[in-house]
Structure formats: structure tokens, C-alpha cells
């Protein structure tokens, strides 16, 4: 009986650990004129490529980008402008509630509040803007309005101080914070050790009972 309970407990522990490790990011995005997107655990390191696109009329989608478990991840986007005008727009979703975007939820759109930007070879992050004029929203009124699969409330953004030379590069970043209290590996080890001790005691009692009989 104990063996069955211990096996079930081990499976439950492993399932809980894997559930946290399996949280993924998905998104729909595009940029004028091209972009590459990455996931990283260091805001100063680009990270692993998760999506790319080179056609602003097209919405590019990705899914199943696995987050590094138990730590803050960073979504990085590099957009390259081939000449005026310029923009980056998109929306992103997390698969589980053990992570959250900077807005405190599992969904995030492009805006000038929850992202930071870096223009070209700049050395300091800034708030993204729609300079030299407001770029608008996907709901309408902007040059690129109506990008498929992206909410109308998503804002077209770019790095502050852009001057629109051909080939201008804009960097964007936003954190994805781990929020769940997942036990450390050492905690799992202690729990499993406890199960082993209980099993040892149960086995000794069983043997003692058999000897007495």
C-alpha cells in the first residue's frame, strides 16, 4: 500500500515541477520594415530567437516559446526601419499564471508604458514613443491600422529620438516575471527523503509483525 502511495506522491511532485517549467509565450506581431524577437534571462543579452518577419502588412505569429523556469525572462524585439515611416506592434500571451508581464497579467500589447526602447547604438533605455508624431493604434487612423490578429488597442511604437534614416534599428524589451512559489530542488529532495523514511519505518513494522506471528 505504501509503495502505491509513494509512487503517486512522486508522480505528483514531478508533475508540479514540470507544470511550472513548461510555461510558454505566444504572440502576434509585425514591424515596418522587419523584426526579430528573442527570449532571454538577462536583459543585457539578446537571448534565443523565437520569431522573425520582414513584411509589415503581414502579422507573424509564434507559439510554444518556453520560458526559463523560476526566473525573470525578457522579451526582446529588434525592429529595422527601411525608411520613413516606422513602427512595431503586437500582442503577447503567457500559457500559465505562474508568470506575469509588467502590467500584472498574462497578456500584453505594445504601448508606451510597459516597454522600454533603445535606438541604434544608444547606451540607455528610454520610454518608446511615436515621435516625431503619434503613430496611433491598430484600431484605425494610422498608416498601418488593421493588422490581422492584433487587438485594436495595441499601439504602434518606436524608439525615442528616431530620425528615420534607412536601416535605423530600434530595440525593445519587457520583463516576464516569475511569481509562483515553486519549491527549490532541495525541497523536493527533502520531501522524497521523508517518503523514504516513512517507507523504512513501515517496512520495519511489517517485518516485526511477521516475526511476532
Positive or negative, the Cα torsion across 97, 98, 103, 107?
negative
Could you tell me if 187 and 167 lie in one domain? no
Total domains in the chain come to 2
Q: What is the pTM of this model?
A: 0.76
Same domain, 102 and 191: no
- Say if residue 100 is in the same domain as residue 192: no
Name the strand (E) or helix (H) holding 17.
helix 2-21
Would you list the DSSP string of 91-153? EEEESSTTEEETTSSSEEE--SSS-EEEETT-SS-B--B-TTS---BTTBSSTT---TTS-TT
- The answer to whether residues 139 and 192 belong to one domain is no
**8 Å CB contact between 160 and 172:** no
What confidence score (pLDDT) does residue 190 get? 47
DSSP state of 154: P
Is the CB of residue 26 less than 8 Å from the CB of residue 92?
Answer: yes
pLDDT digits (tens, 9 = 90+) for 96-132: 999 999 999 999 999 999 999 998 766 788 899 854 5
Q: Write out pLDDT tens, residues 146-176.
A: 999 999 999 999 998 776 667 889 999 999 9
**By CB neighbour count within 10 A (0-12 exposed, 13-18 middle, 19+ buried), where does 66 fall?**
middle
pLDDT digits (tens, 9 = 90+) for 7-29: 444 444 444 545 445 899 999 99
Task: Tell whether 72 and 159 lie within a shared domain.
Answer: yes
* Residue 103: alpha-carbon gap to chain centroid: 13
Q: Comparing 190 with 106, which gets the higher pLDDT?
A: 106
| Terminal alpha carbon distance of the chain | 20
Does 186 lie in the same domain as 172? no
Give me the mean pLDDT over the 192-199 stretch: 49
In this predicted model, what pLDDT tens digit does every residue of 31-56 receive, in sequence order?
A: 999 999 999 999 999 999 999 999 99
User: Are 52 and 117 members of one domain?
Assistant: yes
Residues 31 and 82 in one domain: yes
Cα separation of 140 and 99, whole Å?
Answer: 31
Q: pLDDT (tens digit, 9 = 90+) per residue, 63-104?
A: 999 999 999 999 999 999 988 889 999 999 999 999 999 999
Residue 11 structural domain? 2-16+182-212
Amino acid at each position: 500500500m505504501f509503495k502505491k502511495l509513494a509512487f503517486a506522491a512522486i508522480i505528483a511532485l514531478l508533475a508540479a515541477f514540470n507544470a511550472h517549467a513548461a510555461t510558454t509565450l505566444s504572440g502576434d506581431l509585425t514591424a515596418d520594415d522587419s523584426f526579430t524577437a528573442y527570449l532571454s534571462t538577462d536583459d543585457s543579452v539578446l537571448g534565443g530567437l523565437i520569431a522573425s518577419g520582414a513584411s509589415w502588412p503581414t502579422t507573424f505569429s509564434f507559439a510554444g516559446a518556453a520560458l526559463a523556469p523560476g526566473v525573470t525572462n525578457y522579451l526582446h524585439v529588434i525592429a529595422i526601419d527601411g525608411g520613413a515611416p516606422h513602427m512595431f506592434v503586437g500582442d503577447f500571451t503567457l500559457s500559465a499564471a505562474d508568470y506575469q508581464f509588467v502590467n500584472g497579467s498574462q497578456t500584453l500589447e505594445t504601448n508606451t508604458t510597459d516597454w522600454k526602447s533603445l535606438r541604434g547604438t544608444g547606451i540607455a533605455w528610454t520610454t518608446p514613443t511615436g515621435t516625431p508624431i503619434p503613430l496611433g493604434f491598430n484600431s484605425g487612423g494610422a498608416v498601418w491600422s488593421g493588422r490581422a490578429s492584433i487587438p485594436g488597442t495595441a499601439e504602434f511604437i518606436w524608439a525615442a529620438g528616431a530620425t528615420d534614416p534607412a536601416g535605423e534599428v530600434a530595440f525593445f524589451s519587457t520583463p516576464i516575471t516569475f511569481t509562483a512559489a515553486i519549491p527549490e530542488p532541495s525541497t523536493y529532495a527533502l520531501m522524497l527523503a521523508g517518503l523514504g523514511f516513512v517507507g523504512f519505518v513501515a517496512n520495519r513494522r511489517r517485518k516485526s509483525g511477521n516475526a511476532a506471528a
